[in-house]
Amino acid sequence: MPRVRRHRRQPEDAPDSDEHLVALAQRGDREAFGVLYDRYVPGVYGYGYRLLGTREAAEDVTAEVFLRALAALPTCQTGSFRSWLFAIAHNRVADELRQRRPTEPLAAGVFVLDPGPSPDEVAAVAADRHTVFGLLPQLSLDQQEVVAMRLSGLSAIEIGEALGKPRNAVDGIHHRALLRLRSLVATSDAATTKGRG
């Protein structure tokens, strides 16, 4: 049976700590930035994918996030590279979501039908996918961002830094998201059970 290796928090000046790698990258060490890239590309990609919904969009956003991070690296003075990087990711995803929104005059909204799925469609989707990912779009944008960042491994403090919100606000958003997800799962379960009966 293989031994489980326990990870200890490295001192900030440890050779593989984010702070040390950022300092090396700021002095022109491309390999140091490469290590940071390898360390965080899965999380940034996952965050983008969860909010944007397609592989192509997530790949594009991930590439842009790291290009922007590399360009802005000389000015990086934060204590947490991960929070700083996810703040860039948050801004880039928000830009992408804004570009996707249709721009219609407010008066045209009077004649628009609710684009959301009908209760039957919600029940059918929920029956097929009882996962957080499938229910994520039914949360508010703030809730989607917090849940996506949590699923990417960020702590509440790091999410707060990335979104520019205090930790208690992030905790509140996360709590409301969990309550909403529970409600959505319960509703979809009840609809599935009723449909079978």
| The pLDDT value given to residue 63 | 93
Distance of alpha carbon 12 from alpha carbon 85, whole angstroms: 17
pLDDT truncated to tens, each residue of the chain (197 aa)?
444 444 444 444 556 888 889 889 888 888 998 999 999 999 999 999 988 888 999 999 999 999 999 998 888 876 788 899 999 999 899 888 888 776 556 555 555 555 566 565 655 544 444 466 777 888 898 998 888 888 888 888 999 988 999 999 999 999 998 888 888 877 776 666 666 65
The identity of residue 10, as a single letter, is Q
Q: Which residue has the tokens 């790291």?
A: 66
| The pLDDT value given to residue 104 | 58
**DSSP label at 62?**
H
Decide: 43 and 59 in contact? Cβ < 8 Å: no
3-state class (DSSP) for residue 154: coil
| The pLDDT value given to residue 3 | 44
Decide: 100 and 115 in contact? Cβ < 8 Å: no
| The pLDDT value given to residue 64 | 94
| The pLDDT value given to residue 2 | 43
Distance between terminal CA atoms of the chain?
Answer: 47
Distance of alpha carbon 76 from alpha carbon 84, whole angstroms: 8
Closest by Cα among 83, 63, 64 to 22: 83
The identity of residue 185, as a single letter, is V
| The pLDDT value given to residue 103 | 58
C-alpha distances (whole Å) from 43 to each of 78, 109, 121 are: 19, 37, 31
Decide: 18 and 80 in contact? Cβ < 8 Å: yes
User: What tokens were used for 79?
Assistant: 């204590």
| The pLDDT value given to residue 8 | 40
Largest CA distance in the chain: 67
| The pLDDT value given to residue 5 | 44
Q: What domains are there in the chain, each with its CATH number? A: 14-102 (1.10.1740.10), 117-197 (1.10.10)
